[in-house]
Structure 1
C-alpha cells in the first residue's frame, strides 16, 4: 500500500473544483487505489467543536461526539476520492451507510493521527459500492491502535449485480419518541462546521440543478442529531450503525423513534413526521 503523509489538512477550496471537473468524466476501471492518506498532529479546535455540537444538538463537553471525528477525516476522504486514479467521479455518488465504532471516549485535549483509505469494492443491485475507512489513533500510543473507526459506504450508480433489492421492512411502527423541526438552513449550517458543501445541501436552486426539488439535509447531520438524543445513555465503547434511506427535504418535520434491543442495545429510526417513510435506520450496540 502507498502511504501519503500529510502535514496539514487538504484544502477543501481546492478539492471542490477538482470534484466538479471530475464529475465530467465517466467511471473508469474496477479497482480502488491502494493508497492510504495519513495526517499526524491532528488536534481539535474547541470553538469548532462547540459550533458542531450546537448545530447537531449535542451538549458542550470535553468528550467528542462519536460523529465529530468524521468531519476531521472528511478532507482526507475528499483528497482520496478526487485523485485521477480513483475509479468513480465524486459527484453523483450516494452515501448509503455509515458505521462508527468508538473504542473509548475521545477527549478534546488529545492529539491524533488520522488514516483514510478505500477498500471492499463490491457489486450492488443498483451499481457498485465500496467503503471509505477512516481511523483515529492517539499519537502517544506507539502501537497506532485506533480508538475510533468510521466506515462510510458509497454507491456509484450504474449497471447493477442483477440481484433483487432486499425487501424494505419497517423495524417498528412510526410511533414517535420525539418530533423535531428541521430548519431550511440546516444544510448551510452543517456545511459550515463539516466542510461538506455539496450543492444539494445548500439551497433550493443548487439542489434543483441535481434533480432534487429542494435542498436536502446531510446524512451525517441526521445521524448526529439522532445520536445526540441518546446522550447520557451510551456506554464508553459502542458502535452506531446507520443506513440512509429517503432524503430529508428542507425545511422538514421529522419523527424520531427508538426502542431497546437486548440489555445494552438500541434501534432507532428517523421518519417523515406525517408519512410512514423512513429517512434513516440505525442501531447502537455496546
Structure 2
C-alpha cells in the first residue's frame, strides 16, 4: 500500500497519559462510535522532548524482567519510556488498525550507544509500511530516542490487525518448526508477571492482567507481555552484550500465566540466537542479536 511521502511533525508538551488512550480505544470498539478508519497510516509523527529517566521506575522494571540494578538502561527500557507516544498514535481514530484485538508479532531494537539514567531522551514516533497479511494487515510503529540531537536508540514494533477474511499478501510461516536447542535455563513465569509488568510499563492490555479480559480475546488465562519475554531473554544475556547491537524477536505463541518456559541461547562470535519454548517444545519467541 502507498505510504505517506512526508509527515507532519506534532510536538507534544509531555508524554500523554495512557489511561485516557485506552478508554478511547475501547470506546472506538463500540459499533457506531468508532468512526471511519483511515486507508493508510497517518501522515504524522509525534514528538516529545527531554524525557527524564525515572530511577525508581527503572529499578522496578529491572526487578520484574530480571536485569541487574544499574545506571545503564536495558535495551528494552526506552520502549517502555516512549510507549505512551506510540499508544497515542495507534489509538488515533484515523489509525487504520484498531487497538482492540491487535497482536504484537515482532519487535526490533537497535542500541547505537549505551543510554544511562542521567540521559534525557527526545522521542519521535510514527507508523509506516502498512501491508496485507493472510490474517489481516500488518503495520510497523517506529519509536526513536535521541540525546542532544543524536539518535541513540530505535525500536520498530510490528502489529497485526486480524481480519476474518483472507486478504492476500505476506503469509504465516507454515513450515515445520525445527527442534528446539537444549535449554540453557527453565523459568517459572508466575501469575504476577502480567500485573507487575503492566504497572511498570504502562501497557494495561487486559489480556495480560485479567482472566475475563483474556477470555474475551480467546485466551483461557492471561498471557505475558511479549516485551516482558524479550526483556527477560536479554536479562539472561546481559553481561555478554556489546555496547551497540540490534536485537530482533518474533513472537510466536503466547506465554500463559502461570507456566514454565525453556530458554535456549547459542553464540557465534559476537552474535546470538535465542528462543523460548513451551513444555511441548513449541516456539514462543525466537530472537537474534547482531
TM range (shorter): over 0.9
Q: Secondary structure at the match of 1:267?
A: strand
Structure 2 Cα separation of the partners of residues 241 and 27 of structure 1: 33
CA distance in 2, matches of 1:168, 1:73: 35
The CA distance in 1 between the partners of 2:19 and 2:8, in whole Å, is 25
Q: 1:19 aligns with which of 25, 38, 46?
A: 25
Q: Which secondary structure does the structure 2 equivalent of 1:58 belong to? A: coil
What's the TM-score, normalizing by structure 2? 0.92
Going from structure 1 to structure 2, the CA distance change for 1:21 and 1:49 (only over 3 Å counts) comes to same
The equivalent of 2:134 in structure 1 is 125
Structure 1 unmatched ranges of 5 or more: none
The total of aligned residue pairs comes to 279
Computed over aligned residues only, the root mean square deviation of the Cα atoms, in angstroms, reads 1.5
8 A Cα contact 2:132 2:170, kept in partner:
no
SS at match of 2:230: helix
Question: 3-state DSSP class of the match of 2:213?
Answer: helix
The match for 1:210 is 217
Q: Residue 78 in 1 paired to residue 81 in 2?
A: no
What's the counterpart of residue 188 of structure 1?
195
Q: What is the aligned partner in structure 1 of residue 59 from structure 2?
A: 50
Structure 1 distance, partners of 2:247, 2:134, is: 25
- Structure 1 residue 126, shift from structure 2 partner: 1.3
Contact 1:174 1:271 in 2 (8 A): no
Matches within 5 A, 1:1-286: 1-24=7-30, 25=34, 28-138=37-147, 140=148, 144-158=149-163, 159-161=166-168, 164-170=171-177, 173-260=180-267, 262-272=268-278, 274-285=279-290
**Structure 2: gaps (5+ residues):** 1-6
Distance verdict in 2 for CA 1:277–1:34, change over 3 Å? same
Bigger mean CA deviation after superposition, 148-157 or 173-182? 173-182
For the residue of structure 1 that corresponds to 2:114, the secondary structure is: coil
Shift of 1:160: 2.7
TM-score by length of 1: 0.94
Say whether the 8 Å CA contact 1:103–1:238 is kept in structure 2. yes
Kindly state the Cα deviation for residue 27 of structure 1 after the two structures are TM-superposed. 7.1
State the 4+ residue runs in structure 1 displaced beyond 4 angstroms.
none
